[in-house]
Amino acid sequence: MKLFKQLDQLISSSGSCALGVVANLGIVALTLPFVTVPSGNSIRPMGWAFLIGMIALGTFVVGIITALIDVFSGKCKFGLVGFFLCLVPFPLASLLLHLLALIKGFHLSE
């Protein structure tokens, strides 16, 4: 019975972690098509930026609230991890895009 109680606590407290992981995987999946951009091209990824912004905003609002509830209820061990994972999507997307631009040699127009 104690095992089921601990398992239930883990599942109920890892919602913000799961949301953060799914959002970050979505960011990576949306950024992968930039691998096919030829070297020397200039791109302006406005649609990509909009999608990334919506994912980051949604993750921030829902994930931060969930993480704070988990942390302050005292029943969560992973609340702070979920909190930080929900802050990461936008910086991760920016880092990946600039890293791909550096590696592949395309230019980001402003």
Q: Given this model, what pLDDT does residue 96 score?
A: 94
Alpha-carbon gap, residue 89 to 84, rounded angstroms: 10
What pLDDT does residue 91 have?
94
Q: Could you report the per-residue pLDDT of 17-68, keeping only the tens digit for each?
A: 888 889 999 999 999 999 999 999 999 999 999 999 999 999 999 888 888 8
CA neighbours within 13 Å on the CB side: how many for 100? Answer: 21
**Both tokens of residue 83?**
């909190």
| The two three-digit tokens of residue 11, written as one number | 């599942």
Q: For residue 108, report the phi and psi dihedrals to the nearest 5 degrees.
A: -100, 115
Taking the model in full, what pTM does it have? 0.80
Kindly list the distances between the CA atom of residue 46 and the CA atoms of 35, 39, 52, in Å, as whole numbers in the listed order: 17, 19, 10
Q: Delimit the domains of the chain by residue range.
A: 2-108
